[in-house]
Amino acid sequence: QSFKLLGFLDVKSVPCARESVLYGSLGSLVVGLGHFVATSRVRRSCDFAVGGFICTMLGYWFYCRYNLAQHRIRQRMLKEGMRNKILLESSSLDAERKQTGNERSDS
């Protein structure tokens, strides 16, 4: 089963959604309780808690998505490098083979 937040955000299948909601709720709790302890105003503390939830959730969402994009780029580069290594291995274009060949001729 999938869990949809607000009817459109599928928390189970969208990367970073689950962690963003969890960190947002923790941020909401911290900001709301902190404001309540400082001012003892319940309604205003609830407003701050909602704002803390939104800011923390969006902040972690962008942070997580950025890291995910960086990870995917590194994976793609590594995959391409491995494919090129396999294709060029033992050919005349192999850089390692050229280096070892030059060292042998110098000796």
Per-residue pLDDT of the chain (107 residues; tens, 9 = 90+): 666 666 666 777 778 888 998 999 999 999 999 999 999 999 999 999 999 999 999 999 999 999 999 999 999 999 998 888 877 776 766 666 666 655 555 55
The reported pLDDT for the residue numbered 88 is 75
Single out the residue of 107, 102, 9, 24 nearest to residue 63, CA to CA: 24
pTM here? 0.69
- Mutual orientation of helices 17-39 and 42-88 as an angle, nearest 10°? 150
The reported pLDDT for the residue numbered 46 is 95
Cβ neighbours of residue 64 closer than 8 Å, sequence gap 6 or more: 15, 16, 19, 20
The reported pLDDT for the residue numbered 18 is 85
The reported pLDDT for the residue numbered 4 is 67
